[in-house]
Structure 1
Amino acid sequence: MNKVKVVLLTSLFALLPLAQSSAQKGGKLKLWYDKPAANWNEALPIANGRIAAMVHGNPSKELLQLNESSFWSGGPSRNDNPDGLKGLDSIRTYIFQGNYTRANTLSNQFLTAKQLHGSKFQSIGNLNISFPNAEKFTDYYRDLDIENALSSVSYKVDDVIYKREILASIPDQVIVVRLTASKPGKLTFTTNFDSQLKKTSVALDNHTLEMTGLSGTHEGVIGQVKFDARAKVINNGGTVSFVSDSLKVKNANEVIIMVSIATNFVDYQNLTANETQKCIQYLSVAEKKPFNTILKNHISTYQKYFKRVNFDLGTSEAAKATTKDRIKNFSKSYDPELVSLYYQFGRYLLICSSQPNGQPSNLQGIWNGSNNPMWDSKYTININTEMNYWPAEKTNLTEMHEPLIKMIKELSQSGKETAKVMYGSNGWVAHHNTDIWRITGVVDFADAGQWPMGGAWLSQHLWEKYLYNGNLKYLESVYPVLKSACEFYKDFLIEEPTHKWLVVSPSVSPENTPQGHKSALVAGCTIDNQLLFDLFTKTIKAAKLLKKDASLMVDFQKILDRLPPMQIGRLGQLQEWLEDWDNAKDQNRHVSHLYGLFPSNQITPYTTPQLFDAAKTSLLYRGDVSTGWSMGWKVNFWARLLDGNHAKKLISDQLTLVEPGQGRNSTMGGGGTYPNMFDAHPPFQIDGNFGCTSGITEMLLQSHDGSVDILPALPDDWKNGSITGLKAYGGFEVSIIWKDNKAQKVIIKSNFGGNCRLRVPNAMVLAGGKKLNTAKGTNPNPFFEIVKVKEPIISSAAKLNTVVVKPTFLYDIPTESGKTYTFIIK
């Protein structure tokens, strides 16, 4: 960080006299506990984007449960149903006739995968470190320092203080454990590997353990991913010996254990790497470095990402409690610092689980203790994978977005065969689920899996990234993916008989079934129409910017013009389906038809007030409490509805303690947060963490509706606070200080130049007192262009409310690339 930025941040926080962090035992950016983890959902996660561990912190037996991002069951494979074309016309005919049950039966027969429904993300195994005579300990403490990506454990046995420091180094690609004691010669322990999928586990010499293994066979696909895991024990003082598969350390002063893991994975089509050579290479380089060098380089690399954003809501006495107790008491205490900790924990998890050149964050990020995880810990692309990456650009973690962008490019290749084989279409398609082998066929039964829109939703991330980076070279690299996705729907869309609209058929509104229907299978779901509106609109824009395919874009525009408009039903709700089938008592966790509200920008208070009101009505019917990830999504919805108090209520619902072992109830409700701050679906799904981090950002900054909107959904009781380093469309980097719910100071760095249309809750001037120009007309900055959606069709029975928004001030500021602009309260 350069001196200018240090001074800037120092002055930024000096302006606002927030309460100083109390002397809580953990610290502002630490999760801390006074007991060892009793189970996996109390253990603490570390990772470097490729390898990961869950640290349990038991004094007598430390357990590091290990993962490697490419260790999945099976091997390169496909799951296209070759009979797709045989049944497609009949399925569509039955849907248009209203015989959804028959359509569902045929879809399961002709479209659903015959065998493979996706591979499983699996656990490498465990590193065990057993300490004799450590059962009677006192003064126990463990934490996860998310500012430094470091986990620590300390305790006392007799008069000796023992300490463990554990990290997953990004630059050195190893997990490192440092063990120390307050008196010399007091470190005695045994360490070994174990795994359900191991082939061998041996001590190679007095200092090295090795375990090899093979991924599991699943749904007929033989396990082909090989792993090699090694642990190197480097002792200061004492002795090290080996017996069979264990190393025994006796009377050491300090011990470093370095863990290296590698697989034979090259890419989704290739398993030809030498896992042993890779594993040895990582270890041989790292073991030559002192611990302090590894620690320094690790923290420096990690903080390059993490420290871009600083978030402060103040603190309170509640912050002195353990993290578990703070979560347990959150709804009945004042603990603003838990919100900022949870927010930054989401950024920590994304940095740790999604590094450039690696795999994207999956359903559990990169942390999974089972070889048979729920939903296989795959990539569920009817919202969950996308949700993982909602915070990437806006919270200044653009590099973490890269693994997803790469996966989308790979899916655009594997999905071409699916489009051709199953539907006789050009372009590429993906359904609601994929895995490391980039399968694109129909996973699960038709009621959930027959949703050929996964590629359409994922493709939105390609354009979204461009709105933040403004890089035409990047846009050119992803344009073929956008174009190919549109080419699929150009061939696949079919005319529905009533209005002659072009619709997707067969499809579902993700994981929801209309009341009274025995099947979810329908045509023309609202989310499908919204996704296609965005996909075709953005592809046409990209082609224009790149000066490509002018005649093809004419065809795409014709398709865009024939898509169904959004509809407002008899209840005043945004219709979920082409027909007015919504049920006011439906509280399904999926609220897919509100995609147009978030993450899209088709529904806003300023441009589409009727749809805005209908979306709010739909959300009120759905209710608040749901599964963990759904509540995270709803934070974003209420932020976009400009209701900060309701968004905060959802944060409170999300920060409800779920004790490990509590399962899902019959309605998949009861979500919240585990003691280790993982999102509880339940069970654990990481998307809720990422969704909530995104939602909090949306409460403080939005840029989807034609302007950089400051504090659009600030809750009443977040009266004072500050946040630095957020990103907005158009290359603007934004820092905000507020006091008494008013923006006191806004600092905007312009990376591209161009007009900055600024919306603020109170009058502001440029620092120095220069008056700002009131905005007029359309924002000339092309990154803020608002595309007009079709007028909605409104039921004659619908009763709509007048949309009332708080008054704001709208200014236009011409900016130059590389310059920073400071605004203060008038």
Structure 2
Amino acid sequence: MIALPGVALPGVSLPGVSGATPLEAAADLRLWYRQPAKAWVEALPVGSGRLGAMVFGGVASERLQLNENTLWGGGPYNPVNPEAAAALPEIRRLIDAGDYAGATRLADAKFMATPLRQMSYQTLGDLRLTFPGLPETAQGYVRDLDLDAATARVRFSHAGVAHVREVIASAPDQVIAVRLGADRPGAVSVDLAFDSPLKPGISVENGDTLVLSGRNAGQHGIASALTVDCRVKVVARGGKVIASATGLSVRDADEVLLLAAAATSYRRFDDVSGDPAADDRARLARASRKPWSALLAAHRADHRRLFRKVSVDFGTTGAALRPTDERIRLSPTTHDPALAALYFQYGRYLLIACSRPGGQPANLQGLWNDQMNPPWGSKFTININTEMNYWPAEPTGLADCVKPLIEMVRDLSITGARTARAMYGARGWVAHHNTDLWRATAPIDGAKYGVWPTGGAWLCKHLWDRYDYGRDTAYLADVYPLLKGAALFFLDALVVDPRSGRLVTNPSISPENDHGHGSSLVAGPTMDQAIVRDLFHSCIASARILGQDTDLAAQFAAARDKLAPYRIGKDGQLQEWQD
């Protein structure tokens, strides 16, 4: 249970709090299955924050679908429409006049980003492992993902030999490591090949390293700007390693360790000058000096430092003994409280695996993506999805995982300042409903989807929450300029609603809501009023805590007090629109 002053919640334990105990690896922290994955969504994810793999768990052949979190389409670009600022007053006038359809037509023609779409997160492709002499199915087959050890495993027997394969994505060593083992000497043979949509060059270095080199794909008229490198080093104990022009083979080894490193030339949203091949060579050189046991120990210690901060026990029934897919299938009619605990911890596991300091934040698919044009681009959708990824972080002991999000907001404050000036003639910075690796901040997709200027402001809630949970004034001093910049934008961009005399956003939308009057464009949706009100509050509190900006804080307070109030509708609901 949680034991906090005046609060007791059954079933959850936190470290440093009365009643908490260290979390031990157990069956209730394991996803397991009796068959390999057939579809991508059935594969098991591992991630270091920067590198990810989906492990399919085949017997005769294994597919490791690979990702590196800076592999996106295109390159640095400025999407601000040069006609936007001139169109803004007329868009506002049309909205005030109730001509929402006319405002939408004008916004679509003059106000939207160029290009209209942002760049997509892309895949490296697959590392394919083929095991000569092994069948498609085998006795005693089990594949599992140990959430506490952050290790994917496959175990089976064939012809009297027990095989085990383990996969980790190590944050300390920045590699994906694969151990192929058997209980009989000389029983491990494997062929390695890359299969990638990047149309890369494939080569072999030093007789033991398979190399994929190429470029990202251009998109939406934005040219490719990233060089890409992925390499797998083979370390065999016993047997022999055989190199061909585009592949590697191992025959009759006692054990094989595969070390995979990947990188792009991305350094920052405006800098693509990195040398990914040199970076990967250095990572593999360091990792290959360590035995599997050392790599595994460092990886587990690093993961458990975060994962074991929270334990959950909702009780267990016999249903917990079934494979995970069976438990899910039977859950509507079976009492299985431990499945809820497993689901809770799996969510924490995924955030640890896809969001680590120094990397990108979790995108729409976290870290894992097998397509060049995934659904919604697998972008950072900041009108709720990115925020949802991080809502559990602070309450479940994963503050470290928020750091990539904070750094993205820092980037957005730079690109968003350009957008605020060029589109709105405003100080501060703004971001609309999506962004990408290049930190694009202009409205995209179409007016009724993208003209929503409070995406950056909503992200600022996470900056304040990090302070609220940690109470570190040095941190607050570091992020206060980001909060202040977001609030300054609204000091300049809010306008007076001619009917109520209140300050409102205009133009804006209520994301994924249609008010039924010819469009979704509107002035002052309640969602905006709530976010901006909260942003002003955070800035006022920050200024007071830090002892600065007294006059500016007073301006924020005055603007906050002029925002449109919440309204209760005829059915007792919180009204989303002013009318």
- What is the TM-score of this pair, normalised by structure 2? 0.95
Q: Which residue of 1 aligns with 2:104?
A: 104
5 Å-filtered alignment, 1:142-181, equals: 142-181=143-182
Q: Which residue of 1 aligns with 2:250?
A: 249
Cα deviation for residue 206 of structure 1 reads 2.9
Q: Which amino acid aligns with 2:375?
A: M
Classify 1:332/1:245 alpha carbon distance in 2 versus 1 (closer, same or farther; 3 Å): same
Q: Which residue of 1 aligns with 2:46?
A: 46
Q: Which residue of 1 aligns with 2:530?
A: 530
Q: Which amino acid aligns with 1:82?
A: P
Cα displacement string for residues 518-562 of structure 1 (whole angstroms, at most 9, x for unaligned residues): 210001100000011101111011111111111122222111111
Classify 1:562/1:12 alpha carbon distance in 2 versus 1 (closer, same or farther; 3 Å): closer
Cα deviation for residue 6 of structure 1 reads 12
Which SS does the other structure have where 1:391 is aligned? coil
Q: Which amino acid aligns with 2:250?
A: V
Query: Contact 1:380–1:433 at 8 Å: present in 2 too?
Result: yes
How many percent identity over aligned positions? 42
Query: Contact 2:354–2:361 at 8 Å: present in 1 too?
Result: yes
Classify 1:457/1:12 alpha carbon distance in 2 versus 1 (closer, same or farther; 3 Å): closer
Which SS does the other structure have where 2:532 is aligned? helix
Query: Contact 1:412–1:429 at 8 Å: present in 2 too?
Result: yes
5 Å-filtered alignment, 1:266-305, equals: 266-305=267-306
Q: Which residue of 1 aligns with 2:317?
A: 316
Which SS does the other structure have where 1:567 is aligned? coil
Cα displacement string for residues 715-755 of structure 1 (whole angstroms, at most 9, x for unaligned residues): xxxxxxxxxxxxxxxxxxxxxxxxxxxxxxxxxxxxxxxxx
5 Å-filtered alignment, 1:305-344, equals: 305-344=306-345
Q: Which residue of 2 aligns with 1:90?
A: 90
Classify 1:574/1:41 alpha carbon distance in 2 versus 1 (closer, same or farther; 3 Å): same
- Output the CA distance in 2 between the equivalents of 1:527 and 1:472: 29
Tell me how many residue pairs correspond in the alignment.
Answer: 565
Q: Which amino acid aligns with 2:385?
A: N
Q: Which residue of 1 aligns with 2:7?
A: none
- Structure 2 residue 493 is matched with structure 1 residue 492: yes
Q: Which amino acid aligns with 1:328?
A: R
Q: Which residue of 1 aligns with 2:6?
A: none
- Output the CA distance in 1 between the equivalents of 2:487 and 2:298: 44
5 Å-filtered alignment, 1:608-627, equals: none
- Output the CA distance in 2 between the equivalents of 1:339 and 1:290: 37
Cα deviation for residue 405 of structure 1 reads 0.6
5 Å-filtered alignment, 1:696-707, equals: none
Q: Which residue of 1 aligns with 2:547?
A: 547
Cα deviation for residue 199 of structure 1 reads 2.3
Classify 1:9/1:494 alpha carbon distance in 2 versus 1 (closer, same or farther; 3 Å): closer
- Output the CA distance in 2 between the equivalents of 1:444 and 1:10: 50
- Structure 2 residue 157 is matched with structure 1 residue 133: no
Query: Contact 1:205–1:242 at 8 Å: present in 2 too?
Result: no
Cα deviation for residue 11 of structure 1 reads 6.3
Moved more, 419-428 or 129-138: 129-138
Query: Contact 2:15–2:310 at 8 Å: present in 1 too?
Result: no
- Output the CA distance in 1 between the equivalents of 2:576 and 2:205: 61
Q: Which residue of 2 aligns with 1:561?
A: 561
- What is the TM-score of this pair, normalised by structure 1? 0.67
5 Å-filtered alignment, 1:453-468, equals: 453-468=454-469
Cα deviation for residue 132 of structure 1 reads 2.0
Q: Which residue of 1 aligns with 2:4?
A: none
- Output the CA distance in 1 between the equivalents of 2:333 and 2:556: 53
Q: Which residue of 1 aligns with 2:571?
A: 571
Cα deviation for residue 328 of structure 1 reads 1.1
5 Å-filtered alignment, 1:200-599, equals: 200-515=201-516, 517-579=517-579
- Output the CA distance in 2 between the equivalents of 1:7 and 1:106: 55
Which SS does the other structure have where 2:200 is aligned? strand
- Output the CA distance in 1 between the equivalents of 2:368 and 2:14: 35
Cα displacement string for residues 292-334 of structure 1 (whole angstroms, at most 9, x for unaligned residues): 0110111011101111111111111111111111111111111
- Output the CA distance in 2 between the equivalents of 1:437 and 1:578: 35
Query: Contact 2:65–2:370 at 8 Å: present in 1 too?
Result: yes
Cα deviation for residue 371 of structure 1 reads 0.7
5 Å-filtered alignment, 1:13-24, equals: none
Moved more, 28-37 or 128-137: 128-137
Q: Which amino acid aligns with 2:294?
A: T
Classify 1:234/1:551 alpha carbon distance in 2 versus 1 (closer, same or farther; 3 Å): same
Moved more, 236-245 or 101-110: 236-245
Cα displacement string for residues 120-156 of structure 1 (whole angstroms, at most 9, x for unaligned residues): 1100111111012322422110000010000000112
Bigger RCO (CA 8 Å, 6+ sep): 2
Q: Which amino acid aligns with 1:290?
A: P
- Output the CA distance in 2 between the equivalents of 1:246 and 1:39: 25
Structure 2: gaps of 5 or more residues: 1-12
Which SS does the other structure have where 1:240 is aligned? strand
Cα displacement string for residues 426-467 of structure 1 (whole angstroms, at most 9, x for unaligned residues): 111000000011000011101110001111101111111111
Which SS does the other structure have where 1:394 is aligned? coil
- Output the CA distance in 2 between the equivalents of 1:389 and 1:11: 26
Q: Which amino acid aligns with 2:561?
A: D
Query: Contact 1:194–1:201 at 8 Å: present in 2 too?
Result: no
Classify 1:403/1:279 alpha carbon distance in 2 versus 1 (closer, same or farther; 3 Å): same
Q: Which amino acid aligns with 1:160?
A: V
Q: Which residue of 2 aligns with 1:587?
A: none
Cα displacement string for residues 376-434 of structure 1 (whole angstroms, at most 9, x for unaligned residues): 00000001101111111111111111110111111011101101111111111000000
Q: Which residue of 2 aligns with 1:756?
A: none
Classify 1:12/1:227 alpha carbon distance in 2 versus 1 (closer, same or farther; 3 Å): closer
Cα deviation for residue 9 of structure 1 reads 8.6
- Output the CA distance in 2 between the equivalents of 1:434 and 1:500: 33
Classify 1:8/1:432 alpha carbon distance in 2 versus 1 (closer, same or farther; 3 Å): closer
Q: Which amino acid aligns with 1:130?
A: T
- Output the CA distance in 1 between the equivalents of 2:457 and 2:448: 19
Cα deviation for residue 204 of structure 1 reads 2.2
Query: Contact 2:14–2:311 at 8 Å: present in 1 too?
Result: no
Query: Contact 1:139–1:155 at 8 Å: present in 2 too?
Result: yes
- Output the CA distance in 2 between the equivalents of 1:29 and 1:464: 29
Which SS does the other structure have where 1:87 is aligned? helix
Q: Which amino acid aligns with 1:41?
A: V
Cα deviation for residue 239 of structure 1 reads 1.2
Structure 1: gaps of 5 or more residues: 15-19, 580-826
Cα displacement string for residues 321-376 of structure 1 (whole angstroms, at most 9, x for unaligned residues): 11111111111111111111110111111111010111111111110011110110
Query: Contact 1:55–1:63 at 8 Å: present in 2 too?
Result: yes
Which SS does the other structure have where 1:568 is aligned? coil
Moved more, 204-213 or 347-356: 204-213
Moved more, 479-488 or 200-209: 200-209
Classify 1:83/1:12 alpha carbon distance in 2 versus 1 (closer, same or farther; 3 Å): closer
